[in-house]
A and B are shown apart, each in its own frame.
Chain A
Amino acid sequence: KAGVTQTPRYLIKTRGQQVTLSCSPISGHRSVSWYQQTPGQGLQFLFEYFSETQRNKGNFPGRFSGRQFSNSRSEMNVSTLELGDSALYLCASSPGTVAYEQYFGPGTRLTVT
């Protein structure tokens, strides 16, 4: 099976802009979660989607949002970018029922200047 894919791999944006990141889960997986990784805060949970519905949300401001499509692909959006949003954004795929282990993609490295 193909693994989790994320696009783009690298992105440079300017403060105030918005950005959309994409994630394609492992075939058959219905749950997609997003995490932010920074040197200062480590790995933090953003949100989880299952069957197009947000099931859980971490402690991030409303500028961070996401959605999931009927084919389980997911996007996350960050509006009004701040310098502190510079991070590696990781998407994780899971069957979502019974088995909950999460498999991660390579991440999108976002740099905000």
Chain B
Amino acid sequence: GNSVTQMEGPVTLSEEAFLTINCTYTATGYPSLFWYVQYPGEGLQLLLKATKADDKGSNKGFEATYRKETTSFHLEKGSVQVSDSAVYFCALMDMGRRALTFGSGTRLQVQP
């Protein structure tokens, strides 16, 4: 079946540091890949997406590239802010079932 593996958190960084959150997946076919962010007490916000190999999704300074050869979709940001503190979820969509499979989430804490 499909699965998504994310790096364990929490990830603690100082403001303006470089961020990488690793995500790898296992899936049959060609899933679409997503990053979602969840702030305390809220639902999930779609951060970015990529629908095919070598696509790069980007939004609000975050980027991730769909790497089919390494089955990865790592999230990066060049300079994090305190306001980026949240839980980040990597997910894939099985286009046959139209259901998202999520990783376990990575908590990011950015210190001023």
Residues of A at under 8 Å CB distance from B? 4, 6, 31, 33, 35, 42-43, 45, 48, 55-56, 58, 90, 92, 94, 96, 100-107
B49 at the interface (CB under 8 A from A): yes
Q: Give 15 pairs: A residue, B residue, CB < 8 Å, sorted on A.
A: A4-B43, A6-B43, A33-B98, A33-B99, A42-B103, A56-B97, A56-B98, A90-B43, A92-B100, A101-B34, A101-B49, A102-B93, A105-B43, A106-B42, A107-B42
> What's the minimum C-beta distance from A106 to chain B, rounded to whole angstroms?
5
B102 interface neighbour in A42, A94, A100, Cβ under 8 Å: A42
Task: Tell me which residues across on chain A come within 8 A of B62, comparing CB atoms.
Answer: none
Contact: B46 with A45, CB < 8 Å?
no
Would B49 and A43 count as touching, CB distance under 8 A? Answer: no
A102 near B46 with CB under 8 A, answer yes
Tell whether, in the assembled complex, residue B100 and residue A102 are in contact, meaning their CB atoms are under 8 Å apart: yes
The verdict on A42 contacting B98 (CB below 8 Å), with A101-B49, A105-B43 known, is no
Bound together, the chains give a CA A103 to CA B102 distance in angstroms of 14
Question: Is residue B44 contacting chain A, with contact meaning CB distance below 8 A?
Answer: yes
B99: contacting residue among A56, A96, A103, A104, CB under 8 A: A56
B23 CB to closest chain A CB (Å) equals 14
Which residues of B sit under 8 angstroms from A103, Cβ to Cβ? 46
Pairwise interchain contact B99-A31, C-beta atoms closer than 8 A: no
CA gap between A113 and B44 in the complex, in Å: 26
Known contacts A100-B32, A101-B49, A104-B36: does B43 contact A45 (CB below 8 Å)? no
What B residues does A105 contact at CB under 8 A?
43
Q: Is B101 an interface residue (CB 8 A)?
A: yes
Bound-complex Cα distance A43 to B100 (A): 9
Known A33-B98, A55-B98: A104·B44 in contact at CB below 8 Å: yes
Chain A residue contacts of B101, Cβ below 8 A:
45
Residues of chain A within 8 A of B93, CB atoms compared: 100-102
Per-position binary interface string of chain B over residues 48-83, scored 1 when its CB falls under 8 Å from any chain A CB and 0 otherwise: 010000000000000000000000000000000000
